[in-house]
Copies of this chain bind each other. A is one copy, B any other.
Amino acid sequence: MTAAAPSCTVEFRVRYAETDQMGIVYHANYLPWCEIGRTELIRRLWKSYAQVEREDGVLLAVTDVALRYHAAARYDDLIRVTTTLEGVRSRAVAFTYLVERVNDGGIDRLVSARTGLTAIDRHGALRTLPPELLAAFRNPVPELG
C-alpha cells in the first residue's frame, strides 16, 4: 500500500490590498498564498516554520516557481489553497498547489502552482533539512479520520 502524499488545505478571504486596477487579484499575490499553504503543511507535519527557522537554524529558500492562471480571484472571494508535497531530498523539497474559489454552488479552479525550495542556513550556505522534517515529509503520520 502506498501512503498518500502529505497534503493540507487552508481557507481565507481575498484582501482589498491584493487586487489591482484590472479588478482582480494581482498575479504576484498568489505566491504568498502558496507560502501560507506550505507553512500550514509543515506545521501539521512537525511544527511551525517560524520554529524551524528559530530553533533549527534552517531556512527554506525558494529556488524556482511556476504558476498557471486559469481564472481570476476577486476581492472578498473565499479562497482554498490545497498544498501537496511533490517530493523531497536531503537538501530540497518541492510542493504543488491548487488555488480554488469556494462558491455557494461549487468550486472554481483559479491557479495551479509549483515551488521548489532548498535548505540554507542564516548565512545562505546549503544545509540538509532537519532530520525530523525529512522524516515527517517521508513518513507522515496519518490523521485520525
Which A residues fall within an 8 A CB radius of B? 12, 15-17, 19-24, 26-29, 31-32, 35-36, 39, 48-50, 59, 61-69, 72, 74-76, 124
Chain B residues with Cβ below 8 Å from A21 are: 16, 19-24, 75
Which of A15, A21, A26, A64 has the largest number of chain B CB atoms within 10 A?
A21
| B68-A63 in contact (CB<8A) | yes
Within the complex, the shortest CB–CB distance from A141 to chain B, in Å, comes to 22
Chain B residues with Cβ below 8 Å from A31 are: 17, 27-28, 31
**Interface residues of A, dominant DSSP:** mixed
| A64-B66 in contact (CB<8A) | yes
